Amino acid sequence: MCGIVAAVAQRNVQGILLEGLKRLEYRGYDSSGMTVLNNGSLTRHRALGKVAALAEQLDNAPLPGMSGIAHTRWATHGKPSEANAHPHHSSDQVAVVHNGIIENYEHIKQALQANGYTFTSETDTEVIAHLLADKLNSGLGLFEATQEVVSGLGGAYALGVMSVVEPGVVVGARQGSPLVVGVGIDEAFLASDPLALLQVTDRFIYLEEGDLVEIREQGAIQIVDRDGHQVERPVHTFEHGDGAASKGEYRHYMLKEIFEQPEVISAALEGRLSTNSVLVESFGPEAQVLFQNTRQIHIIACGTSYHAGLVARYWLERYAGVPVQVEVASEYRYRHPVVPDGTLFVTLSQSGETADTLAALRFAKTLHYVGTLAICNVPGSSLVRESDMSLMTHAGPEIGVASTKAFTTQLVALMLLTLSVSKAKGQPERAEIVAALQSLPALCKQVLGLAGQIETLSQAFAEKHHALFLGRGAHYPIALEGALKLKEISYIHAEAYPAGELKHGPLALVDSEMPVISVAPNDDLLEKLKSNLQEVRARGGQLFVFADQAVGINDQDGIRVMKLPHVHEALAPLLYTLPLQLLSYYVAVLKGTDVDQPRNLAKSVTVE
Ligand code: G6P
């Protein structure tokens, strides 16, 4: 979604805002803009396309000033264009940046037009600028004006606003979209994500829903809650160093994040296992009793996180004996779900801010679940704060829009959940899975060693328009995830099927032009999978098989085999994800697409 950054400092803020925008570009990158207060006037640049285009404008005509707001956009209302890019101004008196959607903007716009306000964009945001100007003209200060304006807004927003009437002040508001306050020394900042500000501070205040904040010269910060009461919110120190937000020696963030997996999987396991067993308390002091009383589980998520949930269903049913339903959040939130007694509600999210997942959690809290658990990568995110329990995945910042290390660490967390529920219910310890988890980082390293071979393999895909992914059991969701990665970043149309379904339709698509990718670990479905692969071979399909080195599938005419080290059956879905990530990556690089910021997508989807 869109990204916001704002600063009030004793120094020129242009560089801080621009660096913030670069770091927020993963949220949206169709246009960007910046407004800075200079000698009592609002000065602005806006540019279509990536932040680099704005940087070029700033090179040619700098915007010096000690307070400012900036924005990187992911279009919702109005096409990507310079006129629709933020900040939006009202008669050069007020400037606004906004992330989210104002649902009642049309009605407000008509009223403002009737009062003589002229609109220069197609966005919902511009109404906020004019409403603020209206309030300021009636004599209110910027904070009070913002307070009055937001009380009439429907929908979701994070805002940053400034005005010539109060130089050295930026006001922010949060309702349904994330906003953090960066606490500096004699300076203060706002941003959609702490990453945007790591170059200037590691201390953050996570605003609550309905909060309004004013940041002023000398770093003064004042927060008022939704009821208008002044409140103190805790200041958190950001855990991950700033290095996590840079590409280092890698060509793309995605490649860096793929190669970080051994390390972050270790981090996700750290302190959560004893020699033979999982530590149930990792999920919190109340987890033992709650898991003991859990009779079923509903897992809700979006995108890649949803695929992690699908894998967990196989694990939780097989190893913990608990029935599981998994559903995408955008469907769940508008259904009338039946919640049997003793059901635990689990959300999975990298960001913890995905609008549909958050809405699903809020809806679930009105139903009679025994508890809510968030498995998330961002401490302090909305999902974490609003759930009864949480488990952090410790993947570190993930910048590439296509999720990689966030997915595999979610799988680790979900295996920890499986073992914890099983243990709390008094089932036999699964020491062999615990041992396998401990050896997983080393196995991942071995698989990453196949990168060169996978790069060579990727050449077979560069000219393709379609691809089919097959898997069985817990590897069906891995096939889904492999197909999603390929379409997200290489724009090749890819579909995934449970291999047993091939004969019920997709086989009609198979001919000598259709690449079919299959994951074949050494599990009890291997023989069945081999028969499915024969069905493809018999139709002349080109097979690419990622197989356990012991399964005896070898390169032959029409079959290319990539051999993976042996892994415990339970953890094979984790390991087999890696070569599929690499395959998508190298295909995208060959095709020359924008790997880290694929067209039309955003990393953090904070609107519905
Ligand atoms: C977007 C991202 C995906 C992600 C999904 C869910 O679509 O591009 O990579 O899987 O949102 O995000 P979450 O932060 O809730 O895991």
Please give the pLDDT value at position 544.
92
pLDDT at 243: 60
Mention every residue, 6+ apart, whose C-beta is less than 8 A from residue 460: 515, 542, 544, 560
Measure the CA–CA gap between 537 and 559, rounded to whole angstroms. 8
Give the residue, by CA position, lying nearest to ligand 1 atom 1.
603
Tokens of 207: 């605003």
| Catalytic annotation, pick one of 2, 302, 376, 444 | 2
Q: How confident is the model at residue 8 (pLDDT cuts 50, 70, 90)?
A: very high
List pLDDT tens digits, range 513-560.
889 999 888 777 677 777 777 887 888 888 899 998 887 777 877 788
Q: Which of 403, 410, 480, 486 to mutate to test the pocket of ligand 1 (most atoms within 8 A of CB)?
A: 403
pLDDT band for position 420 (50/70/90)? very high
What is the reported pLDDT for 452? 96
Mean pLDDT, residues 49-64: 96
* Residue 409 pLDDT class (50, 70, 90 cuts): very high
DSSP for 393-410, please give it. Answer: -------SSS-SHHHHHH
189 pLDDT above the threshold of 80 = yes
Q: What is the pLDDT at residue 28?
A: 77
- 242 pLDDT tier (thresholds 50, 70, 90): low
Task: Quote the DSSP letter at residue 273.
Answer: B
The structure tokens listed for 497 are 């099927």
Do 572 and 443 form a contact (C-beta atoms < 8 A)?
no
Please tell me the predicted confidence (pLDDT) of residue 240.
65
pLDDT category of residue 357 using cuts at 50, 70 and 90: very high
Residue type, 450: L
Pairing of β 343-349 and β 371-376? parallel
| Ligand 1 close to Cβ of residue 349 (< 6 A) | yes
pLDDT per residue as tens digits for the range 557-571: 778 899 999 999 999
Contact 183, 191 (CB under 8 A): no
Residues paired with residue 451 on neighbouring β-strands, in sequence order: none
- CB-based contact 45:54 (threshold 8 Å): yes
Q: 528 catalytic, yes or no? A: no
Span 17-45, average pLDDT:
93
Residue 244 has pLDDT above 60, yes or no: no
Q: How far apart are CA 11 and CA 70, in angstroms?
A: 16
- From the candidates 50, 109, 423, 603, which is the catalytic residue? 603
Q: What is the mean pLDDT of the chain?
A: 93
Q: How large is the average pLDDT for residues 369-382? A: 92
For the residues 218-241, what does the mean pLDDT come to?
91
**Ligand 1 centroid, distance to 394 Cα (angstroms):** 16
For ligand 1, whether the C-beta of 390 sits within 6 Å is no
The predicted structure's pLDDT at residue 241: 62
Q: What is the 3-state secondary structure (H, E, C) of 212-255?
A: EEEEEHHHCEEEECCCCCEECCCCEECCCCHHHHCCCCCCCHHH
Q: Is 302 assigned a catalytic role?
A: no
- Token pair 């306000």 is at which residue? 117
Give yes or no for residue 350 CB within 6 A of ligand 1. yes
Would you call 304 helix, strand, or coil by DSSP?
A: helix
**Range with the lowest mean pLDDT among 92-101, 406-415, 497-506?**
497-506
Does the beta carbon of 357 sit less than 6 angstroms from any atom of ligand 1? yes
Q: Cβ of 56: how many Cβ atoms within 10 Å?
A: 12
Of 152, 188, 272, which is closest to residue 6 (Cα–Cα)? 188
Mean pLDDT value of segment 481-498? 96
**Strand spans (E) along 350-464:** 371-376, 389-392
Q: How confident is the model at residue 245 (pLDDT cuts 50, 70, 90)?
A: low
Q: CA 233, CA 256: separation in Å to the nearest integer?
A: 35
Q: How far is the CA of 412 from the centre of ligand 1 (A)?
A: 18
Residue 98 near residue 132 (C-beta atoms within 8 A): no
DSSP letter at 79 equals -
Q: What's the pTM value of the predicted model, to 2 decimals?
A: 0.79
Do residues 410 and 592 make contact, with C-beta atoms less than 8 angstroms apart? no
Taking CA atoms only, the protein residue closest to ligand 1 atom 8 is 603
593 CA distance to ligand 1 middle (Å): 20
Condensed to tens digits (0 to 9), the pLDDT of residues 450-463 reads 999 999 999 999 89
